[in-house]
């Protein structure tokens, strides 16, 4: 391993630079924005784990994760926008929800993804209060009109 990995762990790149991983994150982002639960489910491993610290609870397994999303009203969320980012050297997606009263998309959640073998094996969702720590914008403007 010493011959193939950088000397310092912080210099390791991992799978986030892999083109298949980038494509999976793009598909995850697109399906999330479209609230396409079936599309999202198709990207999850059977034994996927999903948590939202510090909120208690852990869902294990595709069905449990998807059922939790549906029960929480994911499909009825308003308009979403997303920004790619990284959390703990893992690919992540920051989601913003349209707020009419503010005339902007405001922080909602950040999904940090662990991807193994071309599928999502873990999603750790962080609350909006973590956006500043990740250097993410505190709002996104309305979609430009054509």
pLDDT in tens, 116-140: 999 999 999 999 999 999 999 999 9
Residue with token string 């009419």:
100
Q: Is residue 139 part of a domain?
A: no
Specify the pLDDT at position 46: 97
Q: What single DSSP character describes residue 130? A: G
Summarize pLDDT for 16-74 with one digit per residue, the tens: 458 899 999 999 999 999 999 999 999 999 999 999 998 888 999 999 999 999 999 99
Query: Which structure tokens are listed for 140?
Result: 């996104």
Domain of residue 111 covers 14-131
Q: Is residue 105 part of a domain?
A: yes
CATH classification of the domain holding 89: 3.10.450.50
Q: Among residues 52, 32, 68, which one has the least CA distance to residue 125?
A: 52
Specify the pLDDT at position 133: 94
Distance CA 128, CA 126 (A): 7
82-85: long-range contacts, CB 8 A cutoff, minimum separation 24: 82/29, 82/32, 82/33, 83/136, 83/137, 83/140, 84/25, 84/29, 85/110, 85/134, 85/136
Q: Is residue 2 part of a domain?
A: no
Q: Is residue 44 part of a domain?
A: yes
Q: 5 vs 95, which has greater pLDDT?
A: 95
52 pairs with which residues across the strands? 55
Q: Is residue 121 part of a domain?
A: yes
Q: Is residue 137 part of a domain?
A: no
Q: Is residue 136 part of a domain?
A: no
Q: Is residue 8 part of a domain?
A: no
Confidence of residue 144 (pLDDT cuts 50, 70, 90): low
Cis (ω within 30 of 0) for the bond into 54? yes
Give the CA angle between residues 80, 102, 25 to the nearest 5°.
Answer: 20
Number of folded domains in the chain?
1
């Amino acid at each position: 391993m010493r011959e193939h990995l950088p000397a310092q762990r912080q210099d390791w790149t991992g799978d986030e630079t892999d083109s298949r991983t980038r494509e999976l994150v793009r598909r995850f982002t697109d399906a999330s924005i479209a609230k396409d639960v079936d599309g999202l489910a198709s990207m999850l491993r059977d034994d996927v784990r999903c948590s939202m610290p510090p909120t208690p609870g852990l869902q294990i397994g595709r069905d449990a994760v998807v059922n939790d999303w549906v029960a929480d009203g994911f499909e009825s969320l308003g308009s979403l926008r997303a920004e790619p980012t990284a959390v703990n050297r893992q690919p992540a997606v920051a989601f913003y929800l349209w707020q009419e009263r503010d005339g902007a998309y405001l922080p909602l959640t950040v999904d940090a993804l662990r991807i193994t073998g071309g599928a999502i094996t873990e999603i750790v969702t962080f609350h909006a209060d973590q956006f500043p720590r990740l250097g993410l914008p505190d709002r996104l403007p309305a979609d430009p009109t054509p």
